[in-house]
Amino acid sequence: MILNRKLRIGLILFLAGTILIAVTITYVNLKKKVNSSDTFKKESFPDKDADMTMDNFHFTQAGQGKSDWEVKAVRAKLFKKENKAVLEDVVAVFTTSQGVRLELKGDEGLFNTESHDIYIRKRNNDIKIISSNGYTMTTDSLSWDNKKRVVATDDAVLIEGKEIKLKGKGLRINAISQELEVLSDVEAVIKK
C-alpha cells in the first residue's frame, strides 16, 4: 500500500513536471514566433499616419568593410513605435558568401528598422528575384530573415534559368550556404 502511494505520488510529480516543461516550450516558441519575420503578414502593415515620410529611401547593412545587403524604395513611411517602415517600389540586393548577387523587386514592402527583416508583397506586379548566375524567380511575397540570412516564401514560385524551368510552392534560399529549396508541389522541365 505504501509502495502504491509512493508510485502514485511519483507519477503525479512526473506528470506535473512534464506539463510544466510542455507549457514552457510552448511559451518560448510562441514568443520567438511573435518576433520573427514570419509574422510580417498583410495585417502587419500600419494603416495610420506615419511619423515621417521620405522619398528615395536607402538602407545599407555593411559587414567586414563591405556592403552586406541594401534596400531601396521610391518612398518610405516610417512608424517609430512599431519599428517599421512601409516601402513603395522596393529593390533589395543581397550578395551571398560565394559572391552570387540576388536582386529582389516588389511593389510594396515592410522593413523592420530594429531587426532589419524585410517582407515584400505583390500589389500589382509579381515579385522577382534575379540572380547574377542566370536565374529568375517569380512569386507573390517574400521575406528576408536578417538573423538567419534566409529569403523565404510560402507562395507559389516559378524559377527559370538557361537549362531549367521549375514550379512549386514555398521557397527557402540560404544566403550563407547558397542552398535553394522548393518545399512542395515541384514540377521541373529540363531545357535542351
Which grid cell is 88?
A: 513603395
pLDDT at 10: 52
**Rounded distance, CA 78 to CA 84, Å?**
6
Tell whether 30 and 51 lie within a shared domain.
no
DSSP per residue, 84-145: EEEEEEEEEEEE-TTS-EEEEEEEEEEEETTT--EEEE-SSS-EEEEETTS-EEEESEEEEE
Q: What's 40's DSSP letter?
A: -
The SS3 of residue 148 is coil
Same domain membership, residue 29 and residue 61 = no
The verdict on 7 and 59 lying in the same domain is: no
Indicate the length of the chain as a whole number.
192
Bridge partner list, 157? 168
Task: Give the domain CATH number at 183.
Answer: 2.60.450.10
Whether residue 156 sits in one domain with residue 100: yes
Please calculate the CA angle 73-110-28 and round it to the nearest 5 degrees: 150
Say if residue 79 is in the same domain as residue 109. Answer: yes
12: containing domain = 2-34
Query: Is the confidence at residue 37, as pLDDT, over 50?
Result: no
Q: Do 137 and 105 contact (CB within 8 A), yes or no?
A: no
pLDDT by residue (tens digit) across 41-98? Answer: 444 677 678 888 999 999 888 766 555 788 999 999 999 888 899 999 999 888 777 7
What is the number of structural domains in the chain? 2
pLDDT at res. 4? 59
Residues 57 and 111 in one domain: yes
